[in-house]
Copies of this chain bind each other. A is one copy, B any other.
Amino acid sequence: MPRPLRLTIWNEYIHELEHDSVRALYPSGIHTVLADAISGLLGDRIQIRIATFEQEEHGLTYEALAETDVLTWWGHAAHDRVSDEVVQRVHTRVLNGMGLIALHSAHNSKIFKRLMGTTCMLRWREAAEKERVWIVDPSHPIAQGLTDEYFEIPHSEMYGEHFDVPQPDELFAISWFEGGEVFRSGCTWRRGKGKVVYFSPGHETFPIYHDANVQRIIANAVTWAAPTGGLYLGKGRNIPQSLSPIAAKHVVDESLHRPK
């Protein structure tokens, strides 16, 4: 049997401690609801670790990341206070193969913006409106197990276009909002050896992470973003010896080159 996938669920874990309304929905934190759900769906295939903002190095030490195959990220209130050093470390780890699942307000996290190279900004409205999530790539692995072409979230925060991200490699979901907007709510990109997923449904003041369809998509995304092996270099390599013969060598001034 292959070893279990090692998942780290990162949760900022601030709103749940500060606001009664959030704690009422997520008494042990969003991370606990996610962990229970993913564990329930994936069983022995997954091994879960929790990390939060308040932990030393946000719980994302070099060692912790080295033993993480996929990282989910939920943050909102403290984006700016996440350590640049930790962000750099997570970035490097993604490029070397770790999957990253950016959830909801993580669109505005340092790590997601760094991987995208854009502002990742969007419209939003918190009016408890209905969101209907349409699967526009029904055979995508992340959509497996859903039983219909769409599912509904009765009360959601609206995230709307224009969403300033590079065109996704794959677009698996588009959301319809009662108040009139649309949003590319399920997207994937690849960066280096790592797979990146963004999935927008999920908000601290609504019980969205208790929804079975949302849980199914997140569990699928975790599985999908598992590292593949394969060579990857990601650093400059001077190859002085050619593979095939070079006919006429021009004189090159070796003096002026420094290592890249």
Contact = CB atoms under 8 A, between A and B. Distances in A.
Given A139-B229, A232-B138, A252 B149 contact: no
Integer count of this chain's copies in the complex: 4
Interface residues of A, number: 105
Nearest to A112: B117
Contact of A181 (B126, B134, B231, B251): B134
Interface stretch (A17-25, A45-53, A62-70): A17-25
Interface string A215-257: 0000000000001111111111111101111111111111111
Given A149-B162, A162-B233, A134 B182 contact: yes
Secondary structure at the A interface, as helix, strand, loop or mixed, is loop
Nearest to A235: B121
Contacts of A132: 180, 182, 243-244
A22 B252 CA distance: 11
A239 B77 contact: no
A256 B18 CA distance: 9
A251 B108 CA distance: 25
B140 A256 contact: no
Interface in A156-213: 158, 160-164, 166-167, 169-171, 174-182, 184, 189-193, 204-206
A127 B251 CA distance: 8
A22 B256 contact: yes
B136 A230 contact: no
A139 B193 contact: yes
A112 to B, nearest CB: 10
Interface string A128-146: 1110101111111101111
Contacts of A175: 182
Contacts of A239: 123-125, 158, 160, 181
Given A136-B182, A139-B193, A166-B166, 5 more contacts: A95-B118, A126-B254, A149-B231, A154-B250, A176-B181
7 contacts: A123-B238, A130-B246, A135-B231, A158-B242, A160-B239, A175-B182, A178-B244
Interface of A: 15, 18-19, 21-22, 77, 95, 97, 105, 108, 114-119, 121-130, 132, 134-141, 143-146, 148-150, 154-155, 158, 160-164, 166-167, 169-171, 174-182, 184, 189-193, 204-206, 227-240, 242-258, 260
User: Which 7 residue pairs across A and B have the least CB separation, nearest first?
Assistant: A179-B242, A128-B250, A180-B243, A180-B244, A21-B253, A139-B193, A119-B234
